[in-house]
Amino acid sequence: MKDFFSLKGKRVLVPLINRSIPIIEDDYVDMEFGTGCLK
């Protein structure tokens, strides 16, 4: 499992809409199902 904790609080660019969105954490994310990433 990769360590993505360093990304918390940063922003990423969504190229299709050229918009910056924040990376947030949530206890609801199930790391055993899917990627564990939400938009």
Instruction: Tell me the average pLDDT across 9-15.
Output: 91
Mean pLDDT of 15-31: 83
1 pLDDT exceeds 60? Answer: no
In the chain, the percentage of residues whose pLDDT exceeds 70 is 67
Average pLDDT, the chain: 78
pTM (predicted TM-score): 0.53
pLDDT at 25: 77
CA distance 39 to 23: 8
Q: Cβ–Cβ contacts within 10 Å for residue 37, how many? A: 10
Tell me the sheet residues that pair with 20: 13
Tell me the mean pLDDT in the region 15-35: 81
Q: Which helix (H) or strand (E) holds 29?
A: none
